[in-house]
Amino acid sequence: MTDAQVVTAVTDRLGQAMAAFLMDGQLLASSGRFGSRWDSAEPVVESLRAAHTAALMVDAPDDPLFVRSWMAAPNAALDGVTPAQAIRERRINAVLDAAMDPAMERGAA
């Protein structure tokens, strides 16, 4: 996936506000969409790729808002912070480990 495709995938799956949060406020073209003026700095791309991977792991096809709720809810496996905040803190492996729990409960893993 290209950087632009990752931005689009995360925005579509998690919403624009969560994508902006994950990008640590580095946003947006004047149209209000992530666009060509977005700076594809490596830590931001890494965060978005981690969010995309975690979202795919916890996705619930019968509940499209589940993954958004999971990203925004405090998580005991992450010392009480949200997965989104942990991603911003670059605790990517911890987030991916935490994503395994809901996926396994649904039989996806």
Do 41 and 26 contact (CB within 8 A), yes or no? yes
**Nearest CA among 11, 12, 103, 18 for reference residue 69:** 18
Where do the structural domains in the chain lie, given as residue ranges?
Answer: 3-105
- The pTM of the full predicted model, rounded to 2 decimals, is 0.78
pLDDT tens column, 16-60? 899 989 887 654 433 344 444 445 557 788 889 999 999 999 988
Angle at 91 between CA 87 and CA 94, to 5 degrees: 105
